[in-house]
Every structure is written in structure tokens, then in C-alpha cells.
Amino acid sequence: MLIRKGYKFRLKLRDGEKQKFSQFAGCCRFAWNKALAVQDERFSNDNAKLLSKTKLLNLLPEWKHESAFLKEVHSQILQQSLIDLDRAYQNFFRRMKKIRGGDFSEGEDPGYPRFKKKFLHDSFRFPQGFRLENRHVYLPRLGWFRFYKSREIEGKPKNVTVTRNGKHWDISVQVEQEIPDPCPVREPSTGLDMGISRFYTCSDGTFSEPLNAFRSLEKKLAREQRKLSRKNKFSRNWKKQKAKVNKLHRKIRDVRLDYLHKHSTALVRRYGRVYAEDLQVKNMSGSAKGTMENPGKNVKAKSGLNKSILDQGWSEFMRQLEYKLAWLGGELVRISPHHTSQACSVCGHISKNNRKSQSRFVCEACGLEINADHNAAINIQTLGQRGLACEANRTSGRQQELSRNGDRVPGLAA
């Protein structure tokens, strides 16, 4: 099985070198935004079709003529920006089609390509011409640079992306690697209930605590954002504060990603097949809404921000579970939620009143007393095993497109 995965490292740069990197990123941003303006105008005008990738690339020589500074950077990276934009549009159209087909919940963002902002989206990519030797990387027109090599790179490097990360610059190396086809490992299986007071609960009763570090960081972020709003925009102090806010954003993102990776890896090491509710459907269902409004004692899922972070966490977690299970020969099976939180896992009696509180489940019919999330996880497993799985969402054969830059292979890489 051929898989793609990414390695990320921090570059060791001197200040003078950083300037050159900013210039490269700036030119790519310029090309992206210019091309996006062209496509966006055509998109807003119903009669015009978007320019093809080739036609878009053919505009570059003219732009270089108009804006001489574009000639100072490697043309390959400018081309790559336009190719990336073309792909962003393809992805957008694909998601739109899905939304129209009813595969996504309403309000789902199809991800229309956006204009890039300075500092925030600074990056450029080399599809070829780069070289990797030991702890050094060669970037065309920029030279050799040392990077902090935290782990060995396995597989064949396909491209290198350079991204600004606060004061630093990182490289992500995407590689293609042939790994042995996994033997199907479908046992043991578990049902998985995603929640708020517990991040997930398995049908054997084990569960994970929610990411608490997150909430204190979030509070801090809100505080720093309030401070930012009181400062004069673009003043010296505003810029300082803005940098602080951005740093916190990155920290939250890193902490969350790390948490999700740790837990998804732990799960795929324990189980071969995981049954989980289809989150899009779960989000729309009344029971989930009720859960959001009456979260557990320690949880305040009040703000929209909090909720969206939570949602993101769930779907990213599912995405990780799906590709990690697939790489190891297991599978993620999505089931449509069907009274999973109201039905008794022993006698099957369905009633709203079974749910005494967020965490307590007491069956009116048979008297079963159990943690509510645990009860739901058992129901999910039962539904999954009965074969009520949404067949269309099976994972087999989709491993390729599931993986993304920065993905980690459980068991294959430390």
C-alpha cells in the first residue's frame, strides 16, 4: 500500500535569511491573491467559467512583466501557488456537490478559497529541485539550510513546503512510502460515544478526560483578545499584542492536535474496528443539541467559539481514527444515530426520561443504572454489529486521500 505522510521540522535561520523567505512568501501570496481575484470575478459572474489550470499558469509571464519583483523568486513556487489555488477550487466544488447531495449538514462551510494575509498565511512550496541531506535542506534559489531534525525521514520526498510559524520558519516534507498491505485486524471492536464531559467513551466503559488545558488557554486567549481590542489598531502596542494573540492561537492548535493524535493512536492500538456515530447527523439531532445546552458540571460550552472548537475536535478525531485504522488494517464504521442516548442498552426500552442527567442513565423499565455515555457507547456497538452501518462510509480503498500533511503513522513511526 502506497501512503503519503508529512514530516515537519523547524528551520535554523539567521535574520538576514528570514528576509529572503518573507520575500518568497510575499510573491506567492501576491500570485495567489491575483489569481484568486481573476477566478473570483468569473465565479461571481454566472456566465463565465473559471480559467483552467493551464490558462491560469499562462498568465504568469504577463504578471512578471507588470510586477518585476516576481522575477526575483523561483518561478516554480509561483506556479505551485496557482496549482494550489486550482486544487482549492476543485475541493470547494467537490464539497459543494456533497452538500447539495445531502452528505453534509446545513451550515457546513464548503471552504471557498480565501485571500491570503501577510504573516498569517505565509508559505511556499517546491514540487521539485529541493534536496535533503542529513540535517540540511536545499531550497532552489535560496540555498542550503540546517533544520532541527527531530526524527528520521522515511519514504520518497515528493515536495517541501516552507511555512512561517510566528518568528520561525518550518518545512514540511511530504513523502510517499510503500508499506506492506496490512492484514485485516478487525477484532476486538468497540462502540465509541463522543461527548463533552468525557471526550469519548468506549463500550467497555473506558473513557478519556476532556482536554482541560484547553479551557484555561481559551480563557487566556479571550483575555488577550480583549486587551487587543482596546489598543489603537496598527500601533506598536497593538502589533505586540497581536503577536501574543497569534502565538496563543498556535499554542491552542498544537495542544489540541497533540491531544487528538495521542488518543486516536491509543484507540487504534486497542481496537481493530470502531463503530461511531455519524457526527454530521449527530450534530443535527435534538439529543446532541440538548447535550450542548446542558453540559456537565465542569463544562461550560456556552460560547459559539467553544462549540466550534469542540466540533472541529470531533471531526478531526474521526478523520485521524479513520486513516490510522485503515493503515493498520482495521476500519471505522459510521452508524446513523438512532436513539443511542435514550435507549436502554440492556432491555432496549426507549424513553427521554431514562436520561436522568447529563451523566446518569436510569432505565424506567428494567432499572439499569449506568453512566449515560457508557450506555450510548454500548448502543452504538450493538447497532454497528447488527449491520446498520452506513455502507457508503466504509473506509476501504480510501486510505490515499485520507492522509494529509503532518499525519502520523501509528506503530510505523515513533
Q: Is 368 near Zn ion (CB under 5 A)?
A: yes
For residue 38, how many other CB atoms are within 10 A of its CB? Answer: 16
Q: Is 351 near Zn ion (CB under 5 A)?
A: no
Of 84 and 373, the one with the shorter C-beta distance to Zn ion is 373
β pairing state of 200-202 and 189-194? antiparallel
Q: Is 84 a catalytic residue?
A: no
Q: Is 1 near Zn ion (CB under 5 A)?
A: no
Q: Is 347 near Zn ion (CB under 5 A)?
A: yes
> Shortest Cβ distance from residue 353 to Zn ion (Å)?
12
Residue span binding Zn ion (CB under 5 A) among the ranges 5-13, 27-35, 264-272, 341-349: 341-349
> Shortest Cβ distance from residue 346 to Zn ion (Å)?
5
**CA–CA distances in Å: residue 95 to residues 33, 81, 334, 400, 401:** 22, 21, 19, 18, 14
Q: Is 311 a catalytic residue?
A: no
Locate the DSSP E strands across 91-134: 123-126, 131-133
Of 228 and 368, the one with the shorter C-beta distance to Zn ion is 368
Q: Sign of the CA dihedral 90, 95, 101, 106?
A: negative
Of 47 and 353, the one with the shorter C-beta distance to Zn ion is 353
Q: Is 366 near Zn ion (CB under 5 A)?
A: yes
**Do 268 and 324 form a contact (C-beta atoms < 8 A)?**
yes
Q: Is 274 near Zn ion (CB under 5 A)?
A: no
> Shortest Cβ distance from residue 347 to Zn ion (Å)?
3
**Do 325 and 274 form a contact (C-beta atoms < 8 A)?**
yes
Bond from prior residue into 140 cis (ω within 30 degrees of 0): no
* CB-based burial label for 180 (10 Å; 0-12, 13-18, 19+): exposed
Cα-based torsion angle of the residue sequence 66, 70, 74, 78 in order, rounded to the nearest 10 degrees: -80
Q: Which of 365, 394, 400, 411 binds Zn ion (CB under 5 A)?
A: 365
Q: Which of 363, 376, 377, 409 binds Zn ion (CB under 5 A)?
A: 363
Of 243 and 366, the one with the shorter C-beta distance to Zn ion is 366
> Shortest Cβ distance from residue 119 to Zn ion (Å)?
57
> Shortest Cβ distance from residue 204 to Zn ion (Å)?
19
CA-to-CA distance for 327 and 149, rounded, in angstroms? 25
**Do 217 and 249 form a contact (C-beta atoms < 8 A)?**
no
Site for Zn ion in 70-99 (CB under 5 A): none
Binding site for Zn ion (CB under 5 A): 344, 346-347, 349, 363, 365-366, 368
Catalytic residues: 193, 277, 373
